[in-house]
Structure 1
């Protein structure tokens, strides 16, 4: 059956009914189940939500793109194929211009804990962001941030000269512009295709977090890694809910989801960092060489960061965003706020991080009106 027809027919069936007691709903993620953003924030999250609601909300977890492919996850949750899904905003720049605007500020602060919290708060409170979710038929539940992006290569890449001419898998947007800035060739492919690209030689490097050495098996095809921190990724959402589903919940049920999202926002981020460390250590033990960037490569990154904000603003205006300068200024304030809030907080303490997310984000939302009005 044609996939669009399948989605449409499924969506019509699901959209016709509001949530009912003891129903099973679909949750979707295109990463494999072993990934830190799936096993906690989706698999364990589903278990905890079912337990806390007495089985009134039960999510069936689809991972690895088995229900909805990566590029269609926004459409899939909007149409009711899934009631909650992960979505990477880079796949839908036209539909999510505000989210891609802030997502491309990936070099402003590369602390993944700060960016996970800040992107969540901003996307749940900023009027332009909220209007964007409303327009797309999605209720934003919570954000995330990957760890810092590194160059993981099948050849030696240490210096600026080494990077020039190399084919780099990039996440699009600012990352692609950075590749061009240093004389490399950006290649935009889904994360699921990084392994094949490196294995066949159609890629020289994948620019991705270190956990990909394990979660995407890149350790089998990567021989070197450069530790230049090329931003991190947080555009889109870790949990985006179908609007009809969300509006059919009771305020008490939404409060349960708020609490579980606060907890797994923290736990997913802690486990992501642990997975990065473990994967890099394992790859080094198997022979991967780690290079520090030379001074010229570091200088090129600094030069790019200083000049790229104008490109972000221009791209946002082309996509119809009003006052992108003001949006970026507000986003920076939120980022700076979280930078201060997280100063001195143990980045391995899930309970402390979750309590902070609950207090500073979710407790400030009204479960009777958020995503409803």
Structure 2
């Protein structure tokens, strides 16, 4: 009788544990705007709205999965939801990288976050790519604009020649080469060391990195040339088995919360940038506008690089990348118009727009059910 009671207690404990044993993975630190709201607060809201049926334990700062392993990790069920930076896996996600490399087409982060989310949730070719990689796409994001944050003045096209720039890969690296700089590939976690040790002249990243990666301690100059913004991959990608195991009602909860935190994150990210830049300026960092020659070089690159994007996509097996780019551009233009008519500082208004234009149009009984 005692043995049976122990066995029953173990079974009960196991059931409770499995209900709470859902892992949420992000490789940024918990203080980052991409984690604070979209993962930490998101997990609490989801638990509340599902009456405890979905409880995510948030692992941040790469404590569960390193950046390059997040796609495989969610596919294999190490995480049930994860952030993934798409440029780490160009061979596995060629369509996503085609879209993600259009970062110079429109440098408004809010527009690109909403447009890339709608594309990722609705484009048939992109949906097939997610499925082939064992992931259910939940929603996107966008960093704020990328700026050159340097340990030496870089103000002009002449200044940038030969400079070693930390780039996010893809189109960013090609831009560096286009203007005669040297692209350096390294994760954001190593930017501080690179600038401090002198192996980098500039880190090209969103300016919240002045605080979130402590770059203000090693950056003396920032150039405000808007070198795109990063939105490749996804903010929420779900393990297929997990997604199929939860009820349609709980999938709808996830849809609603992702719509909210898609909006919340964008506002929080820009606030973090403003705070970080102001703090760095108080500590002596100089902020300079690019000269006209540098602006012109970026504009020339944007036009020239589209042919490279298409050629790379074809080499990776993408069928008709021209049509895919045309559809994506149409979504970007659509969101450029929609967001012009809403208060972009109002989280609730932006979330309502994300729901009505994107998430409410998804069928929670069939979406992601492969």
Inter-CA distance 54–21: structure 2 relative to 1 (3 Å threshold):
farther
Task: Name the counterpart of 1:11.
Answer: none
Distance, in Å, in 1 between the alignment partners of 2:231 and 2:19 is: 33
What are the Cα deviations for residues 302-334 of structure 1, in whole angstroms up to 9, with x where unaligned? 110111100000000010100000000000011
Show the 5 A alignment for 1:1-373: 22-373=19-370
Cα distance, 1:186 vs structure 2:
0.2
Q: Is the 8 A contact 1:19 1:249 kept in 2?
A: no
Distance in 2 separating the partners of 1:259 and 1:351: 12
Query: CA–CA distance in 1 between the matches of 2:257 and 2:16?
Result: 19
Distance 1:143 1:18 in 2: 32
Deviation at 1:344, TM superposition (A): 3.2
Change in CA separation of 1:362 and 1:18 when aligned onto 2, cut-off 3 Å: farther
1:348 Cα deviation from its structure 2 partner:
1.1
- The alpha-carbon deviation at position 20 of structure 1 amounts to 9.1
Q: Deviations over 1:159-189 (max 9, x none)?
A: 1111000000000000000000000000011
CA distance in 1, matches of 2:318, 2:15: 33
Moved over 2 A (4+): 17-24
8 Å contact kept, 1:18–1:248: no
Residue 256 to residue 18, structure 1, CA distance change in 2 (3 Å): farther
The alpha carbon displacement at 1:22 in A equals 3.3
Partner Cα distance (1:18, 1:256) in 2: 22
In 1, Cα distance between equivalents of 2:294 and 2:108: 20
> Alignment partner of 1:322: what SS?
coil
Q: Secondary structure at the match of 1:141?
A: strand
CA distance in 2, matches of 1:18, 1:114: 43
User: How many correspondences in the alignment?
Assistant: 357
What is the rounded CA distance, in whole Å, between the counterparts of 2:115 and 2:206 in structure 1?
19
Q: So what's the TM-score if we normalise by structure 1? A: 0.94
TM-score, structure 2 normalization: 0.95
Q: Match of 1:6?
A: none
- RMSD of equivalent CA atoms: 1.3
The aligned counterpart of 1:13 is none
Question: Where does structure 2 lack aligned partners over 5 or more consecutive residues?
Answer: 1-13
